[in-house]
Structure 1
Amino acid sequence: MKRIEQKFKELGDKKALVTYITAGDPGLDETEQLIYAMERGGADIIELGIPYSDPIADGPVIQAAGKRALDNGTRLFKVFEVVKKTREKTEIPLVFLIYFNTILSQGIENFIKKCKEAGVDGLIIPDLPLEEREEIRELIEGSDVDLIPLVAPNSKERLGDIINQGGSGFVYCISSFGVTGVRDNFDVDLKSFLEEVRAVTDLPLAVGFGISSREHVEKIHRIADGAIVGSAIVKLVHETNGDPKVIEKKVRELKGC
């Protein structure tokens, strides 16, 4: 059983907390330690954002983190090395949030091969056109790597196609219109949106964009299978220069333990 599937099975009726950091911010050594810290704090799945020069889905906090990571020499092959090292100590599901051009620059087949070898459990590709998905799906099929579909409130007419054409692991449901970032409220009727998503899939649903507090997590957990917290953690990583103890404490607060 794949790690992500196994995690949701282990959780049973409990809900998942998915946490996000930008790989290489403030450095790759810190990234490895932050993975362990977030797991200790109660994270169930961890997303590693692969820094990219034109991150269309990211707000200013994550954009700035990506720039810092690129400026300090973070490159994809180095992130793969971090994943390999963490696999010696943890089985927590690790997911890449990565832009399609980064994959293309590696060669799709070579990139998927490296994901399998390193122990990457899933891919979220915000700018992957539905029409370009087939090649990745064929290369991933039968492996332990999930192609995690990303759906937005304006995806309604194509929900079935987006999710069911090779989607696995869980569905990343965007809570609001626009880019990532901390919010006080959400733009859409999330409950109705999630009901529409559930109508076309049995995969777990995790909600991201704008979730930053325990109150937000609790709200999401009442209507979805998981809550994704990104910008709030990335901001704290920057403010504390990647202090594992502070991040572990923040994740514990989000988890409610």
Structure 2
Amino acid sequence: MSATKQAIDASGGRALIGYLPAGYPSQEACVEACVALAEGGFTAIELGLPYSDPSLDGPVIQAATQTTLDRGFRIEEAFETIAAVTARTSIPVLVMTYWNPVLRWGVDRFAGALAEAGGAGLITPDLVPENGREWIDAAEHHDLDRIFLAAPSSSDARIDEVLRRSRGFVYTVSTMGTTGARGSMDVAARTLSDRLEARRTAIGVDLPRCVGLGISTGDQVADVLTYAEGAITGSALVGALRDGGIDGLRARVADLAAGTLVQSH
């Protein structure tokens, strides 16, 4: 069974997932940052694989990943980080990556290394299920989660395919655009979450909906958790780590985690 889904279910459908770039601001600091998320009450971690053409990433994450690439980041470093984090925490660690680095590394080789490091699975923002047979097969072989994205523009047929082929949760894109903190969440997030609920009921798939892109405050986390099982935050964490180090990150973690404690009306 999916360790990620188990963790989301254990949260009572009030999950908080945090994104951090692998290797930022250094490999050692990245490990400590991930541990801070776990200790601060996060449900799961997304470790972003730095990539030279990050089409979905906003400016905060792009700058962080470029800094990491400039110092000579290598994919092995991500696996080393996952092993170090999973040795100290029990929450699932997923890799968020564009598909090209996985292809270049070798799909089954990548899946095997991820599993050996203790990783829970992959989030693949630019890979659709219809083109994902090789990855789906490798994930099944190595018992890894495969998390595909549903967007406001997705057809019902695409949503059904995402639900059927994903394991762990469905990454529910809150708005059309790139990552980054926003003052308010797009109404499209609630509409898409409702569509996912209708389609998962129709096809009989029990898979959590976790909403990402733009979540930066505890109040936004609380709002998202009125209509989804999880909230995903990234740029706010990266900015806090950049500006305040681990202490600054811990303060932001506390604010965001407080949003999971606000009960729905």
Normalised to the residue count of structure 1, the TM-score between the two structures is 0.94
Partner-residue secondary structure (3-state), 1:96: strand
Find the counterpart in structure 2 of residue 77 from structure 1.
76
Residues 177-235 of structure 1 show CA distances to partners (whole Å, capped at 9, x for unaligned) of 11111111233333222111112232011100000001111110111101111111111
| Aligned equivalent of 1:239, options 228, 239, 243 | 243
| Aligned equivalent of 1:248, options 246, 250, 254 | 250
| Aligned alpha-carbon RMSD (Å) | 1.5
Contact 1:41 1:249 in 2 (8 A): no
Code of the residue aligned with 1:8 in structure 2: it is I
Per-residue deviation, 1:24: 1.2
User: C-alpha separation between the residues in 2 aligned to 1:159 and 1:112?
Assistant: 25
User: C-alpha separation between the residues in 2 aligned to 1:37 and 1:51?
Assistant: 21
Question: Within 5 Å, which residues of 2 pair with 1:1-257?
Answer: 1-12=1-12, 14-141=13-140, 143-157=142-156, 158-164=158-164, 166-201=165-200, 202-240=206-244, 243-256=245-258
Number of equivalent positions: 253
Partner-residue secondary structure (3-state), 2:211: strand
Contact 2:215 2:232 in 1 (8 A): yes
Partner-residue secondary structure (3-state), 2:232: strand
Identity, % of aligned pairs?
Answer: 37
Unpaired stretches in structure 1, ≥5 consecutive residues: none
Contact 1:116 1:143 in 2 (8 A): yes
Code of the residue aligned with 1:207 in structure 2: it is V
Q: Taking structure 1 as reference, are residues 244 and 47 closer, same or farther at Cα in structure 2, changes over 3 Å only?
A: same
Normalised to the residue count of structure 2, the TM-score between the two structures is 0.91
User: C-alpha separation between the residues in 1 aligned to 2:4 and 2:129?
Assistant: 23
Per-residue deviation, 1:89: 1.6
**4+ long deviations beyond 3 Å:** 186-189
User: C-alpha separation between the residues in 2 aligned to 1:85 and 1:101?
Assistant: 25
User: C-alpha separation between the residues in 1 aligned to 2:50 and 2:106?
Assistant: 17
Code of the residue aligned with 1:226 in structure 2: it is G
Contact 2:175 2:188 in 1 (8 A): no
Partner-residue secondary structure (3-state), 1:207: strand
Deviates more, 1:94-103 or 1:69-78: 69-78
Contact 2:152 2:188 in 1 (8 A): no
User: C-alpha separation between the residues in 1 aligned to 2:123 and 2:114?
Assistant: 13
Unpaired stretches in structure 2, ≥5 consecutive residues: 201-205
Code of the residue aligned with 1:247 in structure 2: it is L
User: C-alpha separation between the residues in 2 aligned to 1:250 and 1:189?
Assistant: 26
Per-residue deviation, 1:143: 3.6
User: C-alpha separation between the residues in 2 aligned to 1:144 and 1:245?
Assistant: 35
User: C-alpha separation between the residues in 1 aligned to 2:37 and 2:11?
Assistant: 17
Per-residue deviation, 1:160: 0.7
Residues 115-152 of structure 1 show CA distances to partners (whole Å, capped at 9, x for unaligned) of 11111102111111333201111111154310012111
Code of the residue aligned with 1:182 in structure 2: it is A
User: C-alpha separation between the residues in 1 aligned to 2:219 and 2:84?
Assistant: 34
User: C-alpha separation between the residues in 2 aligned to 1:190 and 1:247?
Assistant: 26
